[in-house]
Structure 1
Amino acid sequence: MDRALKMVYYDEANVEKDIFAQLSLAQKHFQGDGMPRDESATRRILDQIHRQSRAFAAVCYGYMRSKGLGVSEDLGEGQQWYREAAYWFHEEASSGEPISANNLGYLYAKGLGVQENAETAAHWFEEAIEYGSVAALYNLGVCYLNGWGVAQDDEKAIEYFERASDLNDPSAASVLAYLYLEGRGVNRDPAKSFEFNMRAARAGSIEAASALGYALGVGLGAERNIAESISWFELAASEGDAYAQANLAMYFCHSPELKLFNRGWTMLMNACDQGDASAKYQMTQILIFGVPHREPDYASALDLAMDLAELGHPGGYHLIGVMYEHGLGVPVDMARSASWYERAARKGSSNGQAALGRLYAIGSGVEQDNILAYYWLRMSSPTEGSQAQREMGAIHARMTERERQIAEKFVADNPGPRRGSFGLKPLEQDVFKAAKRRS
């Protein structure tokens, strides 16, 4: 789980801001990347950072030079500005300034203006905690979660995240939401995950807002509510979040209203232009199954799905399996379909797991096996009333008592793959029904 460390400042309302997230947003505004081009918004963000202190101004100049934001790109000069930032942060941290100690740790973690050193970074996060930095509690938790500069320890990581979350740190609450969703270091609890995401989103976490959009869209940890899902996705999308844009686009692209479709398609293109894999996955679904204002395009869909597969994206594997199962632009080939589903399943795709379980249940493309069918359907974490849950129940009913015992032991001994680094997948169509309609 490659969670981001954070360098912070506090705005006029004493609200924590992640400086590099803000600088990235400024660049998106400047380039019109995933949102309308707005140089005035870029200037507002940069001016707010400049006003903080000499150290923050130097970070700002370092980013601008390194990224070519409004100036010519010069990595060497960017590093010079980061070195100046490190000097001032060190001066202030040595005097007990908590934000500066945390931010100095960040520079050592990333090798900006100083020699990259994870142990030194963790040391400064510890110093910052002693001085009273909440952000450093989160950062040190990330270090323990990943074993960066300290021995990997989920228990200690959770302790630091809980301390930070109790002090209203949105990033810590967001990570706790992920851990409860995955059952890492804690018992899996989607409802508790939802609660932590709500806490984080209300405290300003854009990532958590996206997570709420997903959870409400599929009924994960809370009752399914499409209107609320759209609302949270819109909030995150307005901040340039490509994941939210991709999923929001799926809602709009399925609308019978041409205006909403056009809005969704534009949003999806913007997210794809940012290189967002979720957006490419969503676009692949549309090209396979079609929507009211766009017919299927199997050749383009297969190209996109193969691109995703080359990146190791489980959704790409799954959609290729769908195409081979139902003969969408390719010959029907159940053995090949099962092979792609298995790759998706082993990478954590719930749709891939459910599809593979279904093939084992009927013995199509693979040898019929009730135990493996039950296992993969169970791994897909089917929601109440879903097709996967009904199929799992049907398989369980026809199994012998001995098969049930073996299946439950197999599930216990093989907990299966975790999801991606954010614990979230793009919202998915009911692809089995969609494929049946096209077959």
Structure 2
Amino acid sequence: MDRALKMVYYDEADVEHDIFAQLNLALKNFRGIGMPRDESATRRILDQIHRQSRAFAAVCYGFMRSKGIGVSRDSGEGQQWYREAAYWFREEAQSGQGTSASNLGYLYAKGLGVPENADMAAEWFREAADRGSPVATYNLGVCYLNGWGVQQDDRKAVKLLQSACDHNDIAAASVLAYLYLEGRGVKRDPGKSFEYNLRAARAGSVEAASALGYAFGVGLGAERNIEASISWFELAAGEGDAYAQANLAMYFCHSSELKLFNRGWQMLSLACDQGDVSAKYQMTQILIFGVKHREPDYGKALDLAMDLAELGHPGGYHLIGVMYEHGLGVPVDMKRAAGWYERAARKGSANGQSALGRLYAIGNGVEQDNVQAYYWLKMATPAHSTHAHREFDAVRARMTIDEIRRADQLFISDPAPRRAHVGLRTVE
């Protein structure tokens, strides 16, 4: 899973601000993407960035020109402004400013105003990290995590990200939460993942707030708490996070109150019109299973699920499998259902992994196989008190010691199907 690099400045209180996160929020306000159109909010964000320095003013102009915010869109002129930003960041970096060296590395990583060059980006990040820049340490950790300009190395990534986190870098805490959930470079630990997300969210990370909404919604690393889930999703949704908006809309759509349902359905519809895959996934679930104020529509559901599948979205694969398993708008076909579940499972869908494990456990659509059932159900069970976890316990109870040994070895040796959180698991 690719993690984002960042370009930052620090305000008078030494609080970090991610420039491109702010610029993208300004763009969402300007175009009304995931929130009401608000040009005054756009201006406030852009003015704040513009005041920081000549380099950041140039970045601001480059983004405005490249995206057409308040001016005609012109990618060529946008690149000219980014070139000016690179000049000033280089000047500041050569005078010993570590954050500026890291920001110059960001421009090389993205090819903004300078040729895209991952090796050069990593060199600038390393130089800045050696000067003690937490953001550069974070960016270098991300490079090791993704193999950008350096040889991919999860353990080096964890070491660098932990160092950045120890210096209060909130993005590093958010990425460490992901690594502990996935078991990359560290022992898998949903509880520790939750703790890092909570730390990052309290410090202002929108991504971490959205992740907490999911964690509370399914009981991942903490007790299941729907009120807390809604609260964290609302916080992230207010900052334009599409994943949070889609899941928040899902809660509203399941409400018995027509007013809340209408609000949720409108949120989903607007997000779908903008091509947001999380919203499409949630809407597909509603169209398959129905809710109090909306009857199922299998034809539309299958169209949306197929659209998601064409985009490689694991939730689309899973939901098509559900339709074939239960004969919802299509004939019952367990082999097809198993095939779609496997595609979802290998893409990281916990729902797909759970469903495939269940089919292996009972031998429906696939040949009965306790080892495969154990493997897929264990892959799908980071949270206790779920159907998948109970099914895992049931399968394990009837296995021989040799079968358990082989299943555990398979789980260790084949880490490919990482979980992909495609939305709250409303159907087990």
Task: Verify same fold: TM over 0.5.
Answer: yes
Unaligned runs of 5+ in 2: none
Following TM superposition, by how much is the alpha carbon of 1:371 offset from its aligned partner in structure 2, in angstroms? Answer: 2.4
Distance 1:384 1:330 in 2: 33
Task: Indicate conservation of the 8 Å contact 2:314/2:422, yes or no.
Answer: no
Work out the CA distance in 2 between the residues paired with 1:35 and 1:276. Answer: 13
Aligned 8 A contact 1:382 1:388 in 2: no
1:292 maps onto 2:289 in alignment: no
Aligned residue identity for 1:327: G
The alignment's TM-score, normalised by the length of structure 1, stands at: 0.94
Distance 2:167 2:338 in 1: 48
Q: Does 1:392 align with 2:392?
A: yes
Alignment of 1:430 with 2:427, yes or no, is yes
* Residue identity matched to 1:117: N
Contact 1:7–1:102 under 8 Å retained in 2: yes
Distance 1:46 1:382 in 2: 41
2:51–2:57 contact (8 Å) kept in structure 1: yes
* Structure 1 stretch displaced more, 258-267 or 55-64: 258-267
Three-state SS of the structure 1 residue aligned to 2:9 is: strand
How many positions carry a matched residue from both structures? Answer: 428
User: For the residues of structure 1 that align with 2:45 and 2:12, how far apart are their CA atoms?
Assistant: 13
Alpha-carbon displacement from aligned partner over 1:183-228 (angstroms, at most 9, x marks no partner): 0000000111111111111111100010111111111111111111
Which residue is 2:418 aligned to?
418
CA contact (8 A) 1:318 1:349 kept: yes
Q: What percentage of residue pairs aligned between the two structures are identical? A: 77
2:196 counterpart of 1:196? yes
Distance in 2 (CA, whole Å) between partners of 1:373 and 1:67 is 49
The letter for the 2-side match of 1:57 is A
Q: Which residue of 2 aligns with 1:118?
A: 118
Aligned partner of 1:436 in structure 2 is none
Task: Give the direction of change, closer, same or farther, for the CA distance of 1:76–1:325 in structure 2 (3 Å limit).
Answer: same
**Counterparts of 2:414 and 2:128 in 1: how far apart (Å)?**
41
Preserved CA contact (<8 Å) 1:35 1:270? no
Distance 1:162 1:33 in 2: 34
CA contact (8 A) 2:375 2:407 kept: yes
Are 1:243 and 1:271, in contact at CA under 8 Å, matched by a contact in 2? no
In the TM superposition, residue 386 of structure 1 has moved relative to its aligned partner by 2.0
Structure 1, gaps ≥5 residues long: 432-439
Which position in structure 1 is the counterpart of 2:38? 38
Partners of 1:270 and 1:165 in 2: CA distance: 36
Q: Deviations over 1:17-70 (max 9, x none)?
A: 111110110011111110011111000000001101111111101000001111
Task: Spell out, residue by residue over 1:215-260, the C-alpha distance to the aligned partner (whole angstroms, 9 max, x if none).
Answer: 1111111111111111111110000000100111111110001111
| Equivalent position of 2:18 in the other structure | 18
Counterparts in 2 of 1:355 and 1:141: CA distance versus 1, 3 Å: same
CA displacement 1:400-420 (0-9 Å, x = unmatched): 444344333433433451124
Is the contact made by 1:62 and 1:82 (CA closer than 8 Å) also made in structure 2? yes
Q: Relative to structure 1, is the Cα distance of residues 59 and 416 closer, same or farther in structure 2, using a 3 angstrom cutoff?
A: closer
Letter in 2 for 1:267: M
The CA RMSD measured in Å over matched residues stands at 1.5
Cα–Cα, structure 1 residues 404 and 58, in superposed 2: closer, same or farther, change >3 Å? closer
Matches of 1:88 and 1:37 in 2, distance apart? 33
1:232 equivalenced with 2:232 (yes/no): yes
Post-superposition offset of 1:264:
1.2
Which whole-Å deviations, capped at 9, do the CAs of 1:315-358 have from their partners, x for residues lacking one? 11110010011110111111111111111111111111111122
Q: Distance in 2 between matches of 1:135 and 1:428?
A: 35
Q: Which residue of 1 aligns with 2:63?
A: 63
SS at match of 1:9: strand
Query: Are 2:266 and 1:269 equivalent residues in the alignment?
Result: no
Which AA in structure 1 matches 2:73? E
- The corresponding residue for 2:8 is 8
> What is the deviation of 1:148?
1.4
Between the two structures, name the one with larger relative contact order (CA 8 Å, sep ≥ 6): 1
